Amino acid sequence: MTASFITPEWVQDAVFYQIFPDRFAASPILEKPNNLEAWDAPPTPHGFKGGDLLGVAEKLDYLQDLGVNAIYFTPVFQSASNHRYHTHDYFRVDPLLGGDAALRRLLKEAHRRGIKIVLDGVFNHASRGFFQFNHILECGAQSPYLDWFRVKGFPLNAYQGKPNYDCWWGLAALPEFNHQNPQVRRFIFDVARYWLEQGIDGWRLDVPFCVDDDRFWQEFRQVVKQTNPDAYITGEIPWDAERWLQGDQFDGVMNYLLTYACWGFFGGEKMDKELVGHWYEHGPQYFTPQADRFAENVRALLKKYPRPAVQSQLNLLDSHDTARFLSIAGGDKRLQRLAALFLFTYPGAPCIYYGDEIGLEGGKDPDCRRAFPWDENRWDNDLRDFYRTLAGLRHQHAVLRHGSFEVLYAAGQVLVYLRQQEGEAAVIVINRSAAASFELDLPVTDVLPEGMAFRNAIGQGGAAVGEGRLRGLTLPPLSAAVLLPGNG
C-alpha cells in the first residue's frame, strides 16, 4: 500500500443511490421524440422510456428525504443505447437526458442539498458512433485515427460478419480503445478532468479490469486527484480487487464479493440461482447460508484491503447488471430488510439501487432496469420507511460509519456483531432463521462494560450487560435489532 493512500472523507459518510437515467424520472419540461416505450411497459434491450436528468433534479427532495447524500449515475453521455455504455461523445450529455444544461442544473440543485454526484466512466471501449472510430469506418486504412483502435483488416466488419478489430466481448458495437496510444490516454484523461472541472464529485469506472495496465490507472488517479483531491474513484471489479486498491489507483470498488455473500446468506434457501447466473462463478465460496461462514467471509473482506479502501467501498445488494435482490430472494421482503440492515451497518458506503426501497422487483437485464413507478399506491411504504430509518441511523451515529467491526456470535442463521469507536458502541443482532427465535445471551466481558444498557433503535425491547453477559433481547424469526446505548 502506498503510504499516502487517502480516500475522500465524504464517501465514508455517504448513502449512495444508483440511478439508471432513462428509467428513474422524466421531466415534463423536456420535449422528447415520439417513439418512446410506455413508462410502465416491461423494459426491452433497445427501447427508451424517456427518463432524464431534469427529472432527477425534480426528485431530489424525495432522495433527500430517504437519506441519500450521493448519487451514482450509469452513463449520461451521448449514445445510441438506452444504457449509454456505447459512447458517441464523451464531452456532451445526451440530448435525450436534457443535454449539458440539465447536468448543470442537477449539479447545482444536488450540491445545494449536500448531495454528491458520481458519473460512470466508460473508458475501455467506445462505440461505432464515436467520431474517431466512425472516421476509420469512412476512410479505412488512410484514417489518421487508425491507431486509436486495434484494427486487423479492411473493410471493417462493423455491422456484418465477425469483427476484425478488438471489441469488448466480441461485440462489434463496442470497439476497444488502444490504450498504448498516448493520444488515447490524453483524451481519456482530458474527459476525466473536464467533467470534474464542471463540478462532478467522482468517477465510477466501467470494466476497468479490461484495461490491463496499472500505469494507465495510476496516471488516471493522478489526473483526477490533481483536479479535485476530494474526488472519488471507484471501479467495477466483480472479484478480488487487491490489485487496484493499494493507494495508487482506485479509492474503492463496487464490492461485489460482499454482494455475493449477502445473496448467499440472506437469500438462503430462497436464493434463485438462475437469477444469480454467471455472478456465482466470480466467487462461489461467498455463497453460503451459514452464519459462521458468512461471518468469516465479511471479516476477511475487511482484512483483504487497506483500511482507507475498506471505508470507501461501494457496498451494494444489486445493480443495473444483476437481478434485483428482492427477486433473487424469492420476493421475500423480510429477507431484503435483513440484508439492507446489514449493508447499512457494515463498513463502507451503502448503495441503494433505485426502486429497491419501494419493493421494485426485476430479473436479469433488461428486467432489472424497469422504470420507477411514481404512483405511490404501488409503493411498499413500510419498506421505504425502513430504508429511511436505516439511513437516518447511519447518519446520526458515527460508530455505524467509522467504528470497528467485531463478530460476537455466528452460528446457524444468527449473526451478532459489534461496531465500536471512541467509547460509542452499537450491537447488531440478525436472526435469519425462518423458524426459530433467538435469545440474546452472550459473553462480552472483554468488549462491553458491566451495566451498559442498550435500546433497540428499530423495534421493541433492549438489552444490558450483567455479570459479563449481554442479555435481555429475544428476536423472533426473520428479524433484527440495532442496539444503541440507552434504556429501551
Distance of CA 272 to the CA centre of its chain: 21
Which residue is listed with cell 493512500? 5
Examine the residue annotation and report whether 321 is marked as an active-site residue of this protein: no
Q: Which amino acid is at 205?
A: L
Q: Are 356 and 66 in contact (CB under 8 A)?
A: no
Which residue is listed with cell 474517431? 132
Q: Are 55 and 87 in contact (CB under 8 A)?
A: no
Among the options 58, 176, 206, 251, which is catalytic? 206
Q: Which amino acid is at 301?
A: L
Which residue is listed with cell 410506455? 38
Secondary structure class of 234 (helix, strand, coil): strand
Contacts of 432 (CB under 8 A, 6+ apart): 265, 266, 268, 289, 291, 338, 413, 414, 415, 478
Q: Are 371 and 43 in contact (CB under 8 A)?
A: yes
In this structure, what C-alpha cell is assigned to residue 58? Answer: 425534480
Instruction: Give the containing element (helix H, strand E) for 258.
Output: helix 256-267
In this structure, what C-alpha cell is assigned to residue 243? Answer: 490489485
Cα distances from 484 to residues 149, 217, 348, in angstroms, run 56, 41, 20
Examine the residue annotation and report whether 109 is marked as an active-site residue of this protein: no
Q: Are 260 and 286 in contact (CB under 8 A)?
A: yes
Which residue is listed with cell 499516502? 4
Beta strands in 35-106 (DSSP E): 70-73, 77-79, 87-93
Query: What is the C-alpha to C-alpha distance for residues 169 and 259, in angstroms, rounded to an integer?
Result: 24
Q: Which of 202, 213, 209, 217 is nearest to 249 (CA)?
A: 217
Among the options 94, 120, 236, 251, which is catalytic? 236
Query: What is the C-alpha to C-alpha distance for residues 338 and 431, in angstroms, rounded to an integer?
Result: 8
Task: Spell 445-474 as b/e; 16+ CB within 10 A means b.
Answer: eebbeeebebbbbbeeebbbbeeebbebbe
Q: Are 487 and 439 in contact (CB under 8 A)?
A: no
Q: Which amino acid is at 483?
A: L
Q: Are 63 and 387 in contact (CB under 8 A)?
A: no
Any idea which residues carry the catalytic annotation?
A: 206, 236
